[in-house]
Structure 1
């Protein structure tokens, strides 16, 4: 297995991050490796089998200006909608208080391949992937 270009400490930080999905019923907090019945219900309600939690902000974990991040997020939303995904606003909130929450989307109804392609397009180190079981999984992209 090839060695990742992403530092191990950054991968561990991604695993500790809370991935917050802003549903109509409130905020759903997801963590890597922890099953979520609520997420499984969202996937089922969308008549889908999988999805992703993804951002376009801060490519390769390099902070960008707020206006640049906002524009990147708008393009990502367009891409997700174009793929037919159900798109729900969210935010990735890490444990490091010096790093602000990143605007993100839970996109239900796209394949792992599509999610990885978008993650690479928007220069992300990783994405969160989930199938119908509702268990988020970290997918390192480089």
Structure 2
């Protein structure tokens, strides 16, 4: 499925196992390949058919110092606001591998091509995107 990617298999496996926690009034945890009723409700309430869970932290899975990741996330938040996009804070956290959680955003209504382009611009290996079925999918970007 992911055999043509430049990303090492163990990194892809970690992305597949990560819990993508969405904060806000209706907190939920997204997992790749599992339909999420709360995400479907968020889509419906927001009047959108899709969303993307993405981060600016640790581009290309190269661990940065926390202050630098904070700067990158703040710049992403500003960019999303300037584009008029609605988003909810969150964190991507693997349940067991010790990699620090990455502050993230669930961006409501971010179309697939736009989500991929933004993830690429942020230097990310992958993003998690959900369509109308509210089932998060891992999309590799390299």
TM over 0.5: yes
Corresponding residue of 2:19? 18
Corresponding residue of 2:124? 124
Q: Distance in 2 between matches of 1:133 and 1:84?
A: 24
Corresponding residue of 2:98? 98
Q: Distance in 2 between matches of 1:70 and 1:94?
A: 19
TM-score normalised to structure 1 length = 0.93
Q: Distance in 1 between matches of 2:124 and 2:85?
A: 19
Corresponding residue of 2:110? 110
Alignment of 1:67-106 (within 5 A): 67-106=67-106
TM-score normalised to structure 2 length = 0.93
Asked if the contact 1:84–1:109 (Cα under 8 Å) also holds between the matched residues in 2, the reply is: no
1:35-71 CA distances to partner (integer Å, 9 max, x unpaired)?
0010011011111111100000001000111111011
How far 1:8 moved relative to its partner?
1.1
How far 1:6 moved relative to its partner?
0.4
Structure 2 gap ranges (5+): none
Asked if the contact 1:130–1:136 (Cα under 8 Å) also holds between the matched residues in 2, the reply is: yes
